[in-house]
Amino acid sequence: MKIGFVGLGNMGTGMANNILNKIENKSDLFVYTRTLEKIKKFTSGGATGCTSIKEITTSVDVLLTCLPSVETSRQLFMGDDGIFEHANSNQVLVDHSTVDVKTSKDCFESASNKGLKFLDAPISGGPGGAADGTLTIMAGGEKESFDYAKDAFNMMGAKISHMGPSGAGTAMKLVNQLLVSTNTVAAAEAFVLAEQSGVNLNAAIDILSTSWGRSTMIERNGPITVNKEFENSPAPLRNLVKDLGIIKELTSQLGLKLPVTMASSDVVDETMGLNLEEPDIAATALSIKKISGIQ
């Protein structure tokens, strides 16, 4: 199977590296991104570099993308000289990006109208999971397409699930991101409460790791909070801002009231205004301190 990968950012680089390490013939991994130096790093390892969307699309059986924004996904798949313009019916085309449900469904409909196969398959696990090949991959679309692409997914992830029809993968990712945002802010509040109450923060994290209050955000954000490594993050807060915007839009469309999510979003926005350099999601603890009047 020839696999293409478009988008070699914080997540995409780790994902594509896992494919390169696990694929039988390294030259069967085709890569494309706008930064030539990133392509060269893969070609030096045996991958095949491409110079355009047309070249990579017409060269592979499964094409995977991991892109930074909704607009980029829409343009790259459905725009002029985009993936759908150059794809064929024998391929499976996959978007691993976090987008809104409408974008995933629009891509699926556009692909179907051209006789093409499309999956929305967002990911969870952060840059660490991408690098380790332990991502969770949640796919929406036709089961036949999912089965065809699953070998590629297995090279990147530890938990691979078909969630249902088009848009179901994206919806599941938004559910996950809702919990990431609320758990991040809740963990930040817990850390500040512990610290201000005289509890050793390392000891608190250790206890919480085996208590009912445990969460991935406690385990992940705790050491960052202890070491105050809030800036220049590989898991920047701006990504959560984007995801919360999509979640709030979906919440409005469904007529739901999610007060905890809204409160978390306010703290995230407050943190983005702290003039930090590429703040980590754990930096929300600084906003809790600011709101509380703690220097």
Longest dimension (CA), the chain: 63
3: tokens are: 């696999």
Tell me how long the chain is.
295
Q: How far is residue 11's CA from residue 70's CA, in Å, rounded to a whole number? A: 16
Alpha helices for the chain (secondary structure H): 10-22, 36-43, 53-57, 70-78, 83-86, 101-113, 126-132, 143-154, 168-196, 201-208, 216-227, 237-254, 259-272, 284-291
Q: Report the DSSP pairing between strands 29-32 and 157-164.
A: unpaired
Tokens of 124: 């969870």
Identity of the residue numbered 33:
T
- Read off φ and ψ for residue 121, nearest 5 degrees: -140, 65
In angstroms, rounded to a whole number, what is the distance separating the alpha carbons of residues 130 and 66? 11
Crossing angle of helices 168-196 and 237-254, in 10° steps, is 120
Could you say which of 159, 173, 228, 290 is catalytic? 173
Tokens of 205: 């994290």
> The tokens 């930064």 sit on which residue?
35
Token couple for 290: 């600011």
Comparing CA positions, the residue from 288, 264, 272, 197 lying closest to residue 231 is 272
Q: What is the token pair recorded at 152?
A: 């590629």
To the query of whether residue 173 is one of the catalytic residues in this protein, the response is: yes
- Is the CB of residue 282 less than 8 Å from the CB of residue 230? yes
- Residue 219 in tokens: 């385990």
**Catalytic site residues?**
173
